[in-house]
Amino acid sequence: MSDKIKKFGTAPVFFTAFSTLLGAILFLRFGYAVGTLGLFGVVLIILLGHMVTIPTSLAISELATNKRVEGGGEYFIISRSFGLNIGATIGIALYLSQAISVAFYVIAFTESFQFLFDFIEKTFSFSLPRQVVSLPVMLLLSYVILKKGANLGVKALYIVVGILILSLMLFFLGKGEVGSGVEVNLLNASLRNVDQFFVVFAIIFPAFTGMTAGVGLSGDLKNPAKSIPLGTISATFVGMILYFFISYKLATSANAEALISNQFVMSDIALFGRIIIPLGLAASTLSSALGSVMVAPRTLQALALDRTFPVKQVNSWLSRSRDVDNEPYNTSLITCIIALFFVAIGDVNMVAQIISMFFLMTYGTLCLISFLHHFGSSPSYRPSFKSRWLISLVGFVTSVWVMFKISMIYTFLAFFIIVFLYLYIDNVHKNRKGLSSIFANTIFQINRRLQIFLQKSNLVRTISDWRPSVICISKDSFVRSNAFRLTNWISYKYGFGTYLHLIEDYYSKASYQKSLEVLKRLIHNYGDNSHVYIDTLISPSYTSAIANAIQIPSISGMENNMVILEYLKDDAGKLDKIIENLNLINAGNFDIAILASSNKPIIYKNGIHIWIKTNDADNANLMIILGFILLGHPDWHKSDIKIFDFCKKSEVAETRRQMKELIDKGRLPITPQNVKIIVEEQDKLYKDVINHYSADAGLVILGFNRESVKSQSKSIFEGYDSLGNVLFVNSSISKIIE
């Protein structure tokens, strides 16, 4: 887009925001606010309102100087920060607020013709409907915008702002006192009717909205990074100062009764007030309407350019600009039709509150974006104008709080509409899913600080507070998913898991590129229902891979404490490699879980069978804890745990008592019926007994110890041909269940 088309400087931004701030509420409701609450009450309202508007103007100025703001203003900033789907959700709500605001200002403009309505009612005893004035004005405004575009709108804006300034000057020059007993000054000003504070605040707050109106012209500005901060911030502070002086002038020029009962009390105070105040009201509301009718179409056009709407033809039609002057003619037409509809209805009080909700939601979002950028500390975030993170946080919190204070019903309604819009847009644009960088940076910072905190705190978990932090190494990820599923089961609710796919190769540029492709496949295959951190590991051998993996810090902030290895029952060579590396793993005092995978289907409803033998004293509690942890995964939600305990005949009663005490003390979801004591018999091999009882179990958990591996090697893992998946567990130290 050429500089010739980017035609506006800072002045339109300032005057669009300035005229929107000094609108209908100022002329029609400020007197009521001063009369009801007193001068100090209104001062508090102004300060509270600007706890939202000042942080927002600073935030949007900061965001606008980080990178060029294209068409769409606030929508562009939000969508490029939070992602297109969230941005489109808030953008649609923002656009509707801007479009309906046009109707709100036109209806308020009609109030400047109160003298005409009073004359007709007195002369003809006929109450003239407001639409007699508002509809022709809306049609005329639509003609101006559609025919001449924003260029003429900006020229008209200068004229009406000039009238607005003149009317305020004559108001301050007025010296008449309205009513008796006007004695207010800065020393004796009072705060009245505290219980009505937020009722009045809800009436007055729309006066403060609109300081970002000029941002919507971003696509037509020569230098948005200069014009948006300068125009927006100056309009916000000038408006705030004027509010203070106007409130003081009202409080010192009229008594409370006159302020409350007469919405045109400013006319009785100002020089030539009967003419200039209605004229100022007309100028302020017309300029606000002009500002909104210029900004709203550009928001809608930006939404269409991002293909927000589900129909391609609709996006194409709405995104077009007029060839002659690059004006968004089609979106201007839609905006005028929406505004005309609400002008015809005439009563937008309810809609006006919802508008305030959406504006507040937009302001809060802008402050939140600024705060998250500060918190996320991305090197790419380098705005030339900088706010402070605390100011942005105050703006966000105040925005949400004020929403609930104005109307809890409308706040929940606004949130409901936003959620509904998001779910719809997210469903339509499934290809646009993904975590925006601002969220990723924030999560990164939270994780970084937590990791450092945990390390500095030197937190030590007791063996009674044990939870698994597992690391699984497998090169068979695309052959079978057993190892990943086990890691995922453990990590779902109670544990943490890192799954490493082994690429047996030397580290090189080629192998690194291969690892990126493999990781992409892994995340695609396993990512949807995964609760595991997935990565790849390039290493020339299985041993070096294990040595590297067990030294990798856990993403949970605690050290890894368990290693999961996996082999197929028919693959004796893989089992040999696992056994060869057990001493390496034992050197780090890791718990070890070896999964013997079977091709048999897993029948989850048949439960988890845990077999405890005489020599499993150190492993037993870990096996039971793992069984409990696995039941936390949805795959096992209809399953149960069965414990089989081998013991000598003379030890049956004591073993049963100990098992009952363990289950009761540990609050384990195991019924006494699911505990079976099996007496050791010399003529029966325990492997045969296990094969008999657990042939159809979903998973069988067995213990093993290092001495047995040294003496019997792989034979202790063999002989379970009737079983499905078998998990062999070795605990580095005995766990406590309490």
Instruction: Identify any residues that bridge with 647 across adjacent strands, giving them in sequence order.
Output: 679
Rounded Cα distance between 32 and 306, Å, is 44
Residue with tokens 């007195």: 122
pLDDT, tens only, 50-87: 999 899 888 888 877 776 666 667 788 778 777 788 88
Position 416 confidence tier, pLDDT thresholds 50, 70, 90 = confident
Q: How many CB atoms lie within 10 A of CB 190?
A: 11
Mind spelling out the 3-state secondary structure of 93-138? HHHHHHHHHHHHHHHHHHHHHHHHHHHHHHHHCCCCCCHHHHHHHH
The answer, yes or no, to whether residue 672 has pLDDT greater than 80, is: no
Rounded Cα distance between 168 and 269, Å, is 11
Position 308 confidence tier, pLDDT thresholds 50, 70, 90 = confident
The answer, yes or no, to whether residue 187 has pLDDT greater than 70, is: no
Rounded Cα distance between 76 and 70, Å, is 7
The answer, yes or no, to whether residue 34 has pLDDT greater than 50, is: yes
Residue with tokens 């309102």: 49
Name the least confident of 195-204, 366-375, 416-425, 657-666: 657-666
Would you call 305 helix, strand, or coil by DSSP? helix
User: Please, what are the domains in the chain?
Assistant: 10-432 (1.20.1740.10), 463-730 (3.40.50.12370)
In the prediction, which pLDDT does 726 show?
A: 96
Q: What DSSP letter does each residue of 686-704 carry, written as one string?
A: HHHHHHHHTTT-SEEEEE-
Rounded Cα distance between 236 and 478, Å, is 60
Rounded Cα distance between 704 and 582, Å, is 12
What integer best gives the mean pLDDT of the chain? 82
Would you call 313 helix, strand, or coil by DSSP? helix
Rounded Cα distance between 407 and 569, Å, is 65
The answer, yes or no, to whether residue 579 has pLDDT greater than 50, is: yes
DSSP state of 597: E
Return the beta strands (E) in 525-605 as ranges: 533-539, 562-568, 591-597
pLDDT, tens only, 713-737: 888 899 998 999 999 999 988 877 6
Position 2 confidence tier, pLDDT thresholds 50, 70, 90 = very low
Measured in degrees and rounded to the nearest 5, phi and psi for residue 224 equal -60, -35
Over range 414-422, report the average pLDDT: 85
* Contact status, residue 620 vs residue 703, Cβ threshold 8 Å: yes
Q: CA torsion sign, 53 to 59 to 65 to 71?
A: negative
DSSP state of 530: -
Over range 455-483, report the average pLDDT: 77
Structure-block tokens of residue 33: 């606010």
- What angle in degrees, to the nearest 10, is found between the helix axes of 273-305 and 312-319? 130
Over range 663-689, report the average pLDDT: 77
**Please, which residues have CB within 8 angstroms of residue 235's CB and are 6 or more apart in sequence?**
13, 14, 15, 17, 18, 21, 57, 211, 214
Over range 680-709, report the average pLDDT: 87
Q: How remote is the C-alpha of 650 from its chain's centroid?
A: 63
- Give me the helices (H) in 640-679, please: 652-666
DSSP state of 472: E
Name the least confident of 31-35, 104-108, 509-513: 104-108
In the prediction, which pLDDT does 149 show?
A: 63
Over range 649-676, report the average pLDDT: 76
- Long-range contacts at 457-464 (CB < 8 A, ≥ 24 apart): 459/558, 461/558, 462/736, 463/733, 463/734, 463/735, 463/736, 464/735, 464/736, 464/737, 464/738
AA identity, residue 145: I
Residue with tokens 């941005």: 87
The answer, yes or no, to whether residue 225 has pLDDT greater than 60, is: yes
**Please, which residues have CB within 8 angstroms of residue 78's CB and are 6 or more apart in sequence?**
86, 87, 90, 91, 362, 365, 366, 369
Rounded Cα distance between 150 and 200, Å, is 35
* Contact status, residue 140 vs residue 334, Cβ threshold 8 Å: no
Question: What percentage of the chain carries pLDDT values higher than 70?
Answer: 87
pLDDT, tens only, 37-54: 888 889 999 999 899 989
In the prediction, which pLDDT does 4 show?
A: 40
Structure-block tokens of residue 711: 């003496």
Which strands form 469-474's sheet, in the order they lie side by side? 533-539, 496-504, 469-474, 562-568, 591-597, 726-730, 699-703, 608-612, 641-647, 675-679
Considering only residues 631 and 130, tell me which one the structure prediction assigns the higher pLDDT: 631
Measured in degrees and rounded to the nearest 5, phi and psi for residue 678 equal -115, 125
User: 445-459 burial by CB neighbour count: b if 16+ within 10 A, else e?
Assistant: beeeeebeeeeeeee
**Please, which residues have CB within 8 angstroms of residue 127's CB and are 6 or more apart in sequence?**
117, 121
Residues 11/14/15/17 CA torsion (nearest 10 deg): 150
Name the least confident of 146-155, 237-246, 488-497, 575-584: 146-155
Name the least confident of 14-18, 322-326, 405-409, 664-668: 664-668
AA identity, residue 462: T
Q: If we measure between CA atoms, which residue out of 322, 327, 231, 326 comes closest to residue 9?
A: 231
Q: How many CB atoms lie within 10 A of CB 251?
A: 26
Angle at 28 between CA 27 and CA 31, to 5 degrees: 85
End-to-end CA, the chain = 70
In the prediction, which pLDDT does 436 show?
A: 61
Over range 3-30, report the average pLDDT: 73
* Contact status, residue 495 vs residue 468, Cβ threshold 8 Å: yes
Instruction: Identify any residues that bridge with 473 across adjacent strands, giving them in sequence order.
Output: 500
